[in-house]
């Protein structure tokens, strides 16, 4: 069930960041906004970073990546 939760969290985060391109959230803000466990939130954010959809700013906040080839396709979840 955890893997399904991660997939759902990744999709939810992608949709929100697509709708609000200037969205800037810390880990704790993201966890609270989407009501996620520590593990699910961390894995979903890591998946989006590895796919270059998000980046972690110097202040620790997660923002949309400015990398020109950020993936627009479904991302694979992190196993484990």
> In this predicted structure, what is the pLDDT of residue 2?
74
Instruction: Check residue 53 and give its pLDDT.
Output: 94
pLDDT at residue 68 above 90?
no
CA distances from 5 to 10, 12, 27, 41, 68 (A): 9, 10, 17, 9, 28
Say which residues have a Cβ less than 8 Å from residue 23's Cβ, sequence separation at least 6.
16, 17, 63, 64
Of 1-5, 34-38, 53-57, 70-74, the poorest mean pLDDT is in 70-74
Cα dihedral 33, 37, 65, 63 sign:
positive
CA dist., res. 3 & res. 24, Å (int): 25
What is the model's pTM? 0.81
Q: Which residues pair with 62 in a beta bridge?
A: 25, 56
Residue 32, pLDDT > 80, answer yes
Domain boundaries, the chain: 2-64
- CATH fold for the domain made of 2-64: Arc Repressor Mutant, subunit A (1.10.10)
């Amino acid at each position: 069930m955890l893997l399904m939760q991660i997939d759902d969290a990744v999709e939810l985060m992608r949709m929100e960041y697509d709708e609000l391109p200037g969205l800037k959230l810390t880990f704790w803000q993201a966890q609270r906004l989407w009501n996620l466990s520590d593990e699910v939130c961390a894995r979903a954010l890591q998946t989006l970073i590895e796919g270059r959809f998000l980046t972690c700013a110097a202040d620790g906040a997660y923002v949309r990546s400015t990398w020109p080839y950020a993936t627009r396709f479904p991302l694979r979840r992190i196993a484990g």
